A and B are shown apart, each in its own frame.
Chain A
Amino acid sequence: GEDVEQSLFLSVREGDSSVINCTYTDSSSTYLYWYKQEPGAGLQLLTYIFSNMDMKQDQRLTVLLNKKDKHLSLRIADTQTGDSAIYFCAEPEYNQGGKLIFGQGTELSVKP
């Protein structure tokens, strides 16, 4: 079955760029998603990318997709303390709009 993997922790200084990486297994996935979760809260959709794209930029967020290596990354420019949270990447199973398969999440810590 599908599997999504992420590194568990990332620590950066305020103002630096953060890059959160994700690998996935289902090469047929046409969409891949990034969510943000703050402590005790639900998941907030950050952005998503269609698989015919290599890159998508949305304000401070840049998503890069390498389909050959099944690698997805999320870059946050000018990282702020308010960006401290857990970030999840997710791919849909069967690509039919059903369940999402999530990674374990990357905890981003931003130090002032």
Chain B
Amino acid sequence: DTGVSQDPRHKITKRGQNVTFRCDPISEHNRLYWYRQTLGQGPEFLTYFQNEAQLEKSRLLSDRFSAERPKGSFSTLEIQRTEQGDSAMYLCASSLAVSGEPQYFGPGTRLTVL
């Protein structure tokens, strides 16, 4: 296994369009996390799953955002009716569900909303 992968790496869209990102975690990892990172800031938590259950969502995750992990493997993050303020790097990470186990990050998806 080569680590966490994300697709696409870059996405340019027009305001009002919907976009969907995919994350494939490290295969034996049962926790999967989504973060958002804007320029000059550290990553901010959006949501996380343990297996297929979504256990926590940030207040940053407005009703335009939805995340799924239907079979407990890959996850998708959808943003509906994109706004310019959604422009950011969207990072996915995975880990084992053991206290202290570190999170391993993917390369991220850079979203630009015009």
Contact = CB atoms under 8 A, between A and B. Distances in A.
Given A97-B97, A98-B56, A99-B33, 4 more contacts: A31-B102, A99-B48, A102-B43, A104-B41
Q: How large is the interface on A (under 10, 10 to 19, 20 to 34, 35 or more residues)?
A: 20 to 34
18 contacts: A4-B42, A31-B99, A31-B102, A33-B103, A40-B110, A43-B43, A45-B103, A88-B43, A93-B45, A97-B95, A97-B97, A97-B98, A98-B56, A99-B48, A100-B45, A102-B42, A103-B42, A104-B40
Contact of B108 (A42, A99, A101): A42
B101 A97 contact: yes
Range of interface residues on B (Cβ < 8 Å): 20 to 34
Contacts, number: 68
A102 B99 CA distance: 18
Interface of B: 4, 6, 31, 33, 35, 40-45, 48, 55-56, 58, 91, 93, 95, 97-108, 110
A99 B57 CA distance: 10
A45 B99 contact: no
Given A42-B91, A42-B108, A97-B95, A30 B100 contact: yes
A6 to B, nearest CB: 8
A88 B31 contact: no
A98 B47 CA distance: 9
Contacts of B41: 104-105
Contacts of A99: 33, 45, 48, 56, 58
A92 to B, nearest CB: 8
